[in-house]
Structure 1
Amino acid sequence: MLNHFKKNIGTDFSFLKGKKLLIACSGGLDSVVLTHLMKNLNSEIALAHCNFSLRGKESDGDEMFVIGLAKNMQIPVFAETFDTKKYAKEHKISTQMAARDLRYAWFDEILKDFKFDYLLTAHHLDDTLETFFINLSRGTGLTGLAGIPKKNNKIIRPLLNFSREEILKYAEENNLKWREDSSNLKTDYLRNKLRLEVLPQFKETNETLLKNFQKTQRNIQASQNLIEDYTALVYNLVVSEAVDSYKINIPKIKELPHTDALLYELLNGFGFTEWEDVSNLLDAQTGKQLFSKTHRLIKNREELVLTEIDLEKRNDEFLVSEEEITSPINLKIEPSKYIGETEKNLIYVASEKLNFPLKLRKWKRGDSFQPFGMKGKKKLSKFFKDEKIPLNEKEKIWLLLSDEKIVWVIGHRMDDRFKVTENTKRILKITFWN
């Protein structure tokens, strides 16, 4: 497996070479094997372990195991204990969702504070198969069937081409030790039930199930990419943007084949679930409307008009001083002695070009800026189209401004006018995280 893994890294993850990598390590079979594989590649790695305090002494035992593993392998380790049940109760979410939120928020902090380039997780081929069936059972589109992505921003999953059986074989051949999570043996959760009861029967009837599933995943992903490109073209034909709304031209979209599917692709992500009702809206009387938790879709003559329900939040403006804020978004402004590599969630700016307090607000129709690396200005609406940013993502985008000039389209591109130059006297590092 090691040779296969090395080849896979060289083919799909060559960008990891020379990078500083953080491995999410539970102490279980998968993450222990991933740690050993990356160590054998002489990568610069560290481990991060979450103790969710859900299994008493067993959880503490997992933490001590991971700390011991890191010590034996002579690599750094981070460990954090969370009151997961309290967090779940306060935020009125499931324990599983609470653990996920806490885990990734903490990982993100470590990545930024200790300057790791990527987070590696040990998801493998069987995990993807389970996710496929879970999404299939709940009803989903191609995106939900396309599986777990190998790369999602800074999260990398280098074991997705390997089965649980291959991972176990590698561990046994190399006499590796790992921890067993007793909760994985319970069938209370759908994923565990699939893993323990349903999928083993599928594998018994078809020995090449995982191999065939990989082919299916590649076909689905290729189809999804094709649909996204086509939807971007359709968007330019049928959608127009107003200050606080999007308008879909009904006659134009009706002229195109597969109208219902196009509506799904255009409106997916705004919380609508009754897609038959959305489709029926095309031929409904003016004034007919549908609501999701966040948006309203109304028939207005020859258009479908999409607006946020809580529009006043889009018009809120927040003042930002040279510090860290956590509302309405997570943003940190701090001095820096040097300029590092600018990323989507991290920029470096010349302090003397800013006038504090800065302003934070959502983007508006007519906004323009000078994208980093360009000489001329560009309207944000044009920038979003060129970047193929979908409708639902545009509404989440915040701007950081100084004297009404855009400093940063947060999470996307900074403004060239505020870049650091050889004449810069003081550098500011600005970081954004979800």
Structure 2
Amino acid sequence: MIEAFIRHIQEKSLIDPDKRYLLACSGGLDSMCLAHLLEKSGVSFDIAHVNFQLRGTESDQDELFVQDFAARKSIPFHLKKAQTKDYVESHKVSMQEAARDLRYAFFEQILAQQNLAAVLVAHHQDDQIETIFLNLLRGTGIEGISGMSDQRGQIIRPLLPFSREEIEGFARSEGLSWREDSSNEKTDYLRNKLRHQMLPNLMDMKEDSRQNLLASFDRIRDTGRAFASLFEEWTSRYSKEMDGIFSLEIQALKQYSGSQSLLFYWLRQFGFNSDQSKNIHHAAILGNSGKIFESREYLANVDREDILVCKKEMEFTPLELGISDIELNLGNESYSIIHSQPGDFIDKNSSNAMLDFDLLSFPLEIRTWQLGDRFNPLGMSQEKKVSDFLIDLKIPFIKKAPVKVVLSAGKIAWIIGHRIADWAKTTAGTRKIFYLKKN
């Protein structure tokens, strides 16, 4: 196995012999076997052990076992006694999630402190199969079926080609010692049910079940790479971002087979799940313009030609603008306030507003527009509903919802960024201009 291990890490360029690594070591069969293989292969490494303090004296004995091994081998040893139950309570996560968070945060800390190249973990072929079936049972996409990779970021898994049977046979032939985790025999956890009940039966169904499964997973992994390339090309061609609003052309959904999957992978960065993605896809294909969908932090709007996504606005608290104020700050944008005399210059940019100072009643109020708001747009003598005005401009819902207005004595003087009211405009009789200029 030593020769096969060395050949594997060399072929995959997983480990640089000139660098030093951090071995995550529980004291169990897999990590003790990996420690032995690294030592025999001439790889330099430190050892990190996390005592999760969940199994009483058994956890403490695991810690002492690993610490003693490191001392006998003169390998630098790093220990964390984790308050796992406290973490579960404070972060409202499962015990497994807490353990994962705590151990990888500790590993990252040691990597930085000791200037080590990466973390080596002892996941093997059986872990890979279990992980893929777990993902399938929980509901997954192509990455979940592809399973764990040999290397991801600063995590390296050099034992993935080797089965648990191979590892145990090698460990016994080498006279290695290891600790048995009694919790691995319980079937309280889904992974253990898979390990002890489902997968043994599955493997017994055909002599070549394991080989066929692994070959299928390899093909799926390669298909995933092809899909990733297609997705990257598709998004670069049909999606864009401007002023915090992400858009995807609906036409892109109609031109590609499998566009439902493409759309899901685009939407999931905004927290939308697969069911929401299906509904958004359905609405877009049917042309249900105006449909709104929500994730935890984002809104998606099926518009006429695009699917638009933006971050949810925090509720805007109305504010007042006094005569002496020199700036209007709306969070994501701000305006300089300039008091000027009439002249030849007239700013017709809808992003800005030139208002007749003497027609305004201070303080001005700034708030989000509301249903029922009316004003007479510049150039019109009759009032118009703000909602109708925004519809006429063909402004999508997600751009429409955060629109704000400036009011003087309860009357709208300016729909910010779009149009001033006719009554507040400057004329030949204007003596002083109240000028709001976007920064």
TM-score w.r.t. the length of structure 2 is 0.69
Residue matched to 1:48:
48
1:152-167, aligned counterparts within 5 Å? 152-167=152-167
In the alignment, structure 1 residue 203 sits paired with structure 2 residue 203: yes
In the alignment, structure 1 residue 278 sits paired with structure 2 residue 280: yes
For residues 114-145 of structure 1, the C-alpha deviation after alignment (integer angstroms, 9 at most, x for no partner) is 11011100000101100111111122111110
Cα gap change, 1:284/1:84 in structure 2, threshold over 3 Å: closer, same or farther?
Answer: farther
Q: Distance in 2 between matches of 1:174 and 1:309?
A: 59
- The code of the aligned residue for 1:247 comes to S
Unaligned runs of 5+ in 1: 317-434
Contact 2:2 2:41 in 1 (8 A): no
Contact 2:126 2:163 in 1 (8 A): yes
In the alignment, structure 1 residue 28 sits paired with structure 2 residue 28: yes
Cα drift, residue 211 of structure 1: 2.1
SS of aligned partner of 2:309: strand
SS of aligned partner of 2:58: helix
Cα drift, residue 286 of structure 1: 2.6
Cα drift, residue 41 of structure 1: 0.8
Q: Which moved more, 1:106-115 or 1:70-79?
A: 70-79
For residues 276-309 of structure 1, the C-alpha deviation after alignment (integer angstroms, 9 at most, x for no partner) is 2122221253321112223221112211111223
Contact 1:46 1:75 in 2 (8 A): yes
Residue matched to 1:306:
309
Residue matched to 1:224:
224
Residue matched to 1:233:
233
Cα drift, residue 14 of structure 1: 5.1
TM-score w.r.t. the length of structure 1 is 0.70
1:284-323, aligned counterparts within 5 Å? 284-309=287-312
Cα drift, residue 15 of structure 1: 4.4
Cα drift, residue 40 of structure 1: 0.3
* Percent identity over paired residues: 38
Q: Distance in 2 between matches of 1:309 and 1:64?
A: 51
Cα gap change, 1:111/1:210 in structure 2, threshold over 3 Å: closer, same or farther?
Answer: same
SS of aligned partner of 2:47: strand
Q: Distance in 1 between matches of 2:25 and 2:312?
A: 41
1:22-101, aligned counterparts within 5 Å? 22-101=22-101
Residue matched to 1:146:
146
Cα drift, residue 175 of structure 1: 1.2
SS of aligned partner of 1:27: coil
- Cα RMSD for the two superposed structures: 1.6
Unaligned runs of 5+ in 2: 316-330, 333-439
In the alignment, structure 1 residue 244 sits paired with structure 2 residue 258: no
Q: Distance in 2 between matches of 1:160 and 1:260?
A: 32
Cα gap change, 1:249/1:14 in structure 2, threshold over 3 Å: closer, same or farther?
Answer: closer
Q: Distance in 2 between matches of 1:206 and 1:296?
A: 49
Cα drift, residue 255 of structure 1: 2.2
Cα drift, residue 173 of structure 1: 0.6
Residue matched to 2:364:
none
Cα drift, residue 7 of structure 1: 0.9
- The code of the aligned residue for 2:264 comes to Y
SS of aligned partner of 1:268: helix
Cα drift, residue 240 of structure 1: 1.6
- The code of the aligned residue for 1:179 comes to R
Cα drift, residue 178 of structure 1: 0.6
Cα drift, residue 214 of structure 1: 2.3
Contact 2:29 2:168 in 1 (8 A): yes
Q: Distance in 1 between matches of 2:206 and 2:92?
A: 42
For residues 341-386 of structure 1, the C-alpha deviation after alignment (integer angstroms, 9 at most, x for no partner) is xxxxxxxxxxxxxxxxxxxxxxxxxxxxxxxxxxxxxxxxxxxxxx
Q: Distance in 2 between matches of 1:253 and 1:311?
A: 31
- The code of the aligned residue for 1:294 comes to E
Q: Distance in 2 between matches of 1:187 and 1:291?
A: 38
- The code of the aligned residue for 2:281 comes to S
For residues 122-176 of structure 1, the C-alpha deviation after alignment (integer angstroms, 9 at most, x for no partner) is 0001011001111111221111100101101111000000000000001111111
Cα drift, residue 44 of structure 1: 0.8
Q: Distance in 1 between matches of 2:183 and 2:122?
A: 18
Q: Distance in 2 between matches of 1:296 and 1:183?
A: 43
Residue matched to 1:137:
137
Residue matched to 2:345:
none
Q: Distance in 2 between matches of 1:28 and 1:79?
A: 16
Residue matched to 1:180:
180
Q: Distance in 1 between matches of 2:155 and 2:111?
A: 10
SS of aligned partner of 1:16: coil
Contact 1:118 1:155 in 2 (8 A): yes
Q: Distance in 1 between matches of 2:129 and 2:290?
A: 44
Residue matched to 1:125:
125
Contact 1:125 1:210 in 2 (8 A): no
Cα drift, residue 209 of structure 1: 2.5
Contact 1:238 1:253 in 2 (8 A): no
Contact 1:244 1:311 in 2 (8 A): no
Q: Distance in 2 between matches of 1:51 and 1:3?
A: 33
Contact 2:49 2:80 in 1 (8 A): yes
Contact 1:13 1:158 in 2 (8 A): no
Cα drift, residue 101 of structure 1: 0.7
Cα drift, residue 265 of structure 1: 2.5
SS of aligned partner of 2:270: coil
Contact 1:281 1:289 in 2 (8 A): no
Residue matched to 1:102:
102
